[in-house]
Amino acid sequence: MQFIEFKAEASPRRSLVSSELAGTAFQLLPRAHYPAGRLEKGLRWQEKFIAALPEHSKRKISLVAVCSSLAQAKTLAASLSVQSYRNFEVHFALTGGGEDLERIKAYCEQRSLSGSASVCARAELSAQHLVELSNRASGEYVMLLPPAMFLHPQALFAHLKSIIEHSPALIYSNEVTLIRSLQETKEYYRKSCGGKLSLLAMNPFGDGICIKRDMFAEIASSISTKICVEDLSWIIAAHVLQHNLPSRFIRLGLLCRDGSFASSLPWEDRSHSELFKSLTAYASAVGVEVKSLEAQPEQTLRPRLKDAPARVQVVIPFRDKPELMEGCLRSLSLQSAAKDLEITLVDNESSQRTVYEIDLQIKRFKNLNISIVPAVGYFNYAWLNNVGAAQRSAPFILLLNNDVELISEDTIAELLRWAACRDVGAVGGRLYYPDGDVQSAGINFGPARPVAVHLDNMFMNVAREVNAVTFAMALIKRSVFEQIGGLDEFRCPNGFGDALFCDSVQKAGYKVIYTPHASAIHYESRSRDLFPEELELMELFEQGVPISDLFSDFEAENQPTRVIFNVLDEPPVVKLAGRMAANPRVSSVANTLADGLISLNRVRRSVGTTFSSRIHRS
């Protein structure tokens, strides 16, 4: 294995203003982009701050960076040359040949950087290579960087402060993806730990992490096959969460990714044997029985859990609209778990005609165990579900709206797999509108109200812990349901009872899970009219659900979030104006309105002039 070392001579930090990265769209927070001159002033102050620190505080950081091209290595080296904190070394693992090693050595020596360079195949490290890198890393902390990643000029300074103050086992931060010669922002990725079970589908800490060197050496020595840095970071994250080691989240965009580079080997096509082995053991330790793991796009996994068949009571409140109930029951009759369902229909003063039609439906779906219980009174969604849940004793309760139709035959079985896990209290799936748009993929507690996740992004497509799930379709452990006391009929009887209940589930020590592999169509608002629910929002706040304006900053939701910058698109207003201009009918109406407004304005001016002249004469 070929290693080339380079050694820096003492020299001042390179100025960001005169560096190759002077025009880079660095931003610690979304859209907070400052010119290089202003950043340089901050870097100079940080140098003075560091100089005043005691020597024992100036801990060394070793960077281990895998680069799939010489250009990537140069960008990283350029970002290191302008860092305000200088006590570091960098070890490159390049996928090029020996000539690239000599080039990066010369490039680093020109920029007063110390470290080494070596060659790896297809951006993967062999077990021997990984051990050698861990032996060469002499810093107290090791920062792992995947291909195409480099650092904000203040990154190492921010890490040093975190190390001095907290000495965590792991440090992670937000990530910014840049395009167009690094001068425009494509995406700002705000990370979040997200919970222990989320780790089975995605690495909430991300790829660019900083860890204690002894932990890095321990995990590196346990690897027996080739591994990419992304998988290694994920394995380390599992180790930290499983052993409850302290981690530190720096809520700033310290990691930068060059979005112009495409991976030569897509993540879902790589071998992930070490990662799968590690996560399977981790899953067992946190009470989840995983049958297999499958790589998905966007660097995510699909954990396939072992089947957990059990009796399920399905509670469906309704008032009239038998045509909705027929679709709902038909989808239940097609479920693979249909034989284990105990369906309770809660009749909230439906007409005799509706009851008659639903009786006929029950007779048609002979494979379902269905009963009807009357609930006489005004519409109170929480009360109706509590009445229904009290009729049976099955270990799981599926709350289901009558205007919901399950899509996959495996929907309830998938909900059961997650609900059966040791620490899980409630599970929800993905709901679609009839036109195919996603209505809900879990609920985040935003700064103003609980917000259904419906953006087409990676978080919608992975199983994860969430703040809440919609009770249009949610599976709950009966023991948890009874421990909490059912749905709150007084505080949130209709609109936000699901958010309040799920918050109570988490406060009781259980997890709320969203899985995209349990799906249904929701004909929302066809079963009842919508109405304002601000009072229930106040009730949520008073019960401690974090939705008030006190949490209206960028970190409010406590969920991973991607802020997408549509730099390649026209602004929506421009798009709308273009579509309207191209439509003859819209243009005709707009011209007619414009002519009318012009005429009206002339009349107003005429009347105003006459009125003012009268006042003047009087």
> Above 50 in pLDDT, residue 612?
no
Residue 233, pLDDT score: 95
pLDDT averaged over the chain? 86
As a whole number, mean pLDDT of residues 144-161 equals 96
As a whole number, mean pLDDT of residues 499-523 equals 94
Tokens of 337: 């778990």
Residue-wise DSSP of 183-251: TEEEEEEE-----TGGGGT--TT-S-EEEEHHHHHHHHHH--S-EEHHHHHHHHHHHHHHTT--EEEEE
> Above 60 in pLDDT, residue 554?
no
Q: Specify which residues 546 forms β-bridges with.
A: none
Radius of gyration of the chain (CA): 30
Superfamily per CATH, domain 24-49+57-262: Spore Coat Polysaccharide Biosynthesis Protein SpsA; Chain A (3.90.550.10)
Domain boundaries of the chain, sorted by first residue: 24-49+57-262, 312-561
> Above 90 in pLDDT, residue 71?
yes
Distance CA(292)–CA(410), nearest Å, equals 17
Q: For domain 312-561, say whether CATH 3.40.50.300 is its number.
A: no
Contact between 5 and 12 (Cβ < 8 Å): no
* Among 141-145, 324-328, 517-521, 533-537, the least confident range: 533-537
* Among 54-63, 218-227, 426-435, 572-581, the least confident range: 572-581
How does pLDDT run across 156-186, given as a tens digit for each residue?
A: 999 999 999 999 999 999 999 999 999 999 9
> Above 80 in pLDDT, residue 263?
no
Distance CA(496)–CA(402), nearest Å, equals 18
> Above 50 in pLDDT, residue 140?
yes
Residue 416, pLDDT score: 98
For 161, half-sphere exposure in the C-beta direction (CA atoms, 13 angstrom radius) is 11
> Above 50 in pLDDT, residue 530?
no
> Above 90 in pLDDT, residue 531?
no
Asked if the domains 24-49+57-262 and 312-561 are classified in one and the same CATH topology, the answer is yes
> Above 90 in pLDDT, residue 37?
yes
Q: How far is CA 58 from the centre of its chain?
A: 34
Distance CA(531)–CA(495), nearest Å, equals 9
Q: Which residue has the higher pLDDT, 11 or 387?
A: 387
pLDDT level of residue 611 (50, 70, 90 thresholds): very low
Give me the torsion for CA of 531, 537, 540, 546, rounded to 10°. Answer: 140
> Above 90 in pLDDT, residue 607?
no
As a whole number, mean pLDDT of residues 237-244 equals 95
Residue 526, pLDDT score: 45
Find which of 150-154, 204-208, 297-301, 566-570 is predicted with most confidence, using mean pLDDT.
150-154
Residue 570, judged by CB atoms within 10 A of its CB (0-12, 13-18, 19+), counts as exposed
Closest CA to 335 of 399, 410, 407: 410
Closest CA to 154 of 26, 67, 25, 23: 26
